[in-house]
Amino acid sequence: MLEKTTRMNYLYDFYQSLLTPKQRSYMSLYYLDDYSLGEIAEEYEVSRQAVYDNIKRTEAMLEEYEEKLLLFQKFQDRQKLIKQLKQRTLQQYADDRELLQMIEALEKLE
Amino acid sequence: MLEKTTRMNYLYDFYQSLLTPKQRSYMSLYYLDDYSLGEIAEEYEVSRQAVYDNIKRTEAMLEEYEEKLLLFQKFQDRQKLIKQLKQRTLQQYADDRELLQMIEALEKLE
């Protein structure tokens, strides 16, 4: 369950610009601010079921975008390689600040 | 003009999975296989104007996706840093094949 939440957080992060403002609001409150469905329903004066349906649809959309664009998958692949690169640099060339800075810039670029 | 074509090729590459099959066919023939609008029209038995309108709409969609997701922009930023990293490695640690392989794996990951 926790892993699923982390995944949804990432997918939201990558694809939020493709969502409608309402979808973004609900997802942000639910996943980032940890509101309950009932609290969101109250805030927006809609039924709990309406909020639930909207969030479920949005989650499905995010998974569809990921199936097509693989942004989260590619991000993970890159981060894994960058981590290896950083480890090797720290082990072998710990004095080379410039090299390390380049790798860290790459790491933060996402 | 050539630069614009290169950009559109990249945008198509990044976002083609979000297009319809027809949009993909027209774009691929026009940008990758260098067909003329007339040749595509003949192939699909539609008017030249219909092909033109479809391609123009698709181009606008690709630019909108780029505005939202910045995949091409981020790709360019990463490639620039990876190039610097590779140059430094080749200059300073040319014997370190493993380090170079990691960087090249990163370069090809896109």
Q: Report, as an integer, the average pLDDT of B53-64.
A: 98
Report yes or no: A103 and A87 within 8 Å, Cβ to Cβ.
no
Q: Chain B neighbours among A 69-98 (CB < 8 Å)?
A: 69, 71, 74, 77-78, 81-82, 84-85, 88-89, 92-93, 96, 98
Determine the pLDDT at residue B109: 87
Report yes or no: B41 and B55 within 8 Å, Cβ to Cβ.
no
Determine the pLDDT at residue A5: 85
Instruction: Render pLDDT for A5-29 as a digit per residue (tens, 0 to 9).
Output: 899 999 999 999 999 999 999 999 9
* Gap between the Cα atoms of A103 and B37, Å rounded: 45
Sign for the CA dihedral angle at A12, A14, A19, A25 comes to positive
Domain ranges across chain A: 2-69, 73-109
Residue B34 has pLDDT above 70, yes or no: yes
Instruction: Render pLDDT for A55-106 as a digit per residue (tens, 0 to 9).
Output: 999 999 999 999 999 999 999 999 999 999 999 999 999 999 999 999 999 9
From the list B81, B89, B103, which residue is nearest A109 (CB)?
A: B81
CATH of domain B2-69: 1.10.10.10
Does B106 contact chain A (CB < 8 Å)?
Answer: yes
Whether this model's ipTM surpasses 0.90 comes out as no
Residue A2 has pLDDT above 70, yes or no: no
DSSP three-state, residue B51: helix
